[in-house]
Amino acid sequence: MKDNNSIRVAVVGAAGRTGRMFAFELAKSANVLGVVRKEEIETIGKQGLWVRREGEEPKQLRIKLISEDRFSYSFLPQVVFLTTKNPVGSAVGYYYQKIKNMEKLPCLVLSQNGLSAGKEAKEALERVLGERAKEVQVVRVSLLNPVEKEEIGGRQCVAYFLPVRLSFGVFSGKKDVGLLSSLFKKAGIKAKEVEPARVPDMEVSKLFLNLIGIPSVSWGVSLKKGFEEKRIAEEEFLCLKEYIRVVKAVGRDFINLPGIPLKLLAFLLDKLPLSFLLLFRKKIGSIVSQARGEKEKGNLDEVDYYQGEVVRLGKRAGIPTPIQERILKRARQRLNHFRVGCRSG
């Protein structure tokens, strides 16, 4: 239940997939302000923002919405939940510049996939806040629910299943996460806290999941179809094997994520020979596809933060990453092709 003491959360990107989902779920117990693109605010005003939780009818998100340029300290946010895509630097700089004179700077929550959001955000905070950047607690979230947009009865909804599951931990700043733990708990979000020292391990573990399916999409097929085709399934497995080698070389480790025994999965992927894995490729493809609720997100537009991260890590560790590089090149080509196609009609 909300009252005057409810936590004040600004969700930046509230019209997007994850932003809308977080805004809807958090609004049950917190005072949520949705921040959306200036160009979108008028249409949103007319059509509303809708979500569809699995097994339920579409529901409208009923929170106060403002456009990005109207964001100010007047709402006195305690938490800024940034749900925009990678890279995050310019958005973090833009919003914290606007509230830099607040007496108590809000905690910044970053739910992007990949390994770069924390560092980019910290650099942006230092740029706009100087010494005061240290006062901002930066928290990383690894969200495990796939969130998609779908059209229902002429309405564009954001669809996801419940419960919302995530891991979270402090990237920098004060270590106490009492405020966020209570925020997630009240909203019924299954949130597992990860100690600050293991936050990089949480990120590499989530990235393991994100890498799956990119080889297939880079070939222009769904994950399920990709695993049915031996040549593509082989690339999917080799991509993960190469990633595990890189993660070990940089001294990181996999951790289990809520409901996902990732340590065991990475161990098996590493140890089992490719020929053996290929025998089960269709089954594996179908299990992963089912776990994602048959949602094929594609995500090629963030490939520089998926396979691209592995290439960067590999360079740091002096480990060649020819498989990621091959996938990255093909994915970028497909993306460019798609963008040119969109522009020309």
Ligand X SMILES: NC(=O)c1ccc[n+]([C@@H]2O[C@H](COP(=O)([O-])OP(=O)(O)OC[C@H]3O[C@@H](n4cnc5c(N)ncnc54)[C@H](OP(=O)(O)O)[C@@H]3O)[C@@H](O)[C@H]2O)c1
Contact pick of 12, 32, 105, 211 for ligand X (by CB under 6 A): 12
Q: Where on the phi/psi map is residue 21: left (φ > 0), alpha (ψ -120 to 50), or beta? A: alpha
Rounded-to-integer distance, Cα 158 and Cα 131, Å: 39
Instruction: Kindly tell me which residue out of 10, 11, 17, 99 binds ligand X, with binding defined by CB under 6 A.
Output: 17
Show contacts of 69-72: CB within 8 Å, 24+ apart: 69/38, 71/10, 71/12, 71/35, 71/95, 71/98, 71/99, 72/98, 72/99
Residue of the chain from 41, 73, 76, 146 that contacts ligand X (CB under 6 A): 146
Among 9, 11, 13, 238, binds ligand X (CB under 6 A): 13
Q: Which of 209, 331, 329 is nearest to 269 (CA)?
A: 209
Closer by beta carbon to ligand X, 277 or else 311: 311
**Which CB, 7 or 36, lies closer to ligand X?**
36
Contacting ligand X within 281-340 (CB under 6 A): 297, 302
Burial 92-123 (b: 16+ CB within 10 A, else e): bbebbebbeeeeebbbbbbbbbbbbbbebbbe
Q: Which of 99, 143, 207, 266 touches ligand X (CB under 6 A)?
A: 143
Q: What is the dihedral of CA 331, 337, 341, 342, to 10 degrees?
A: 40
Task: Choose the binding region for ligand X from 10-18, 49-57, 250-258, 279-287 (rule: CB under 6 A).
Answer: 10-18
Q: How far is the CB of 243 from ligand X (least distance, A)?
A: 17
Stretch that binds ligand X, among 16-24, 167-175, 182-190, 308-316 (CB under 6 A): 16-24
Stretch of 140-148, 197-205, 260-268, 336-344 lying at the interface with ligand X (CB under 6 A): 140-148
Measured in whole angstroms, how far is the alpha carbon of residue 255 from the centre of its chain? 17
Nearest in space to 307 (alpha carbons), one of 240, 261, 249, 253: 240
Q: Which of the stretches 139-147, 249-257, 308-316, 328-336 binds ligand X when contact is defined by CB under 6 A?
A: 139-147
Q: Which 76-115 positions form the footprint of ligand X (CB under 6 A)? A: 83-86, 91, 94, 111-113
Nearer to ligand X, 31 or 84 (CB): 84
Q: Decide whether 12 or 170 has the Cβ nearer to ligand X.
A: 12
Which residue, 94 or 161, has its beta carbon nearer to ligand X? Answer: 94
Closest of 328, 1, 24 to residue 158, by C-alpha: 24
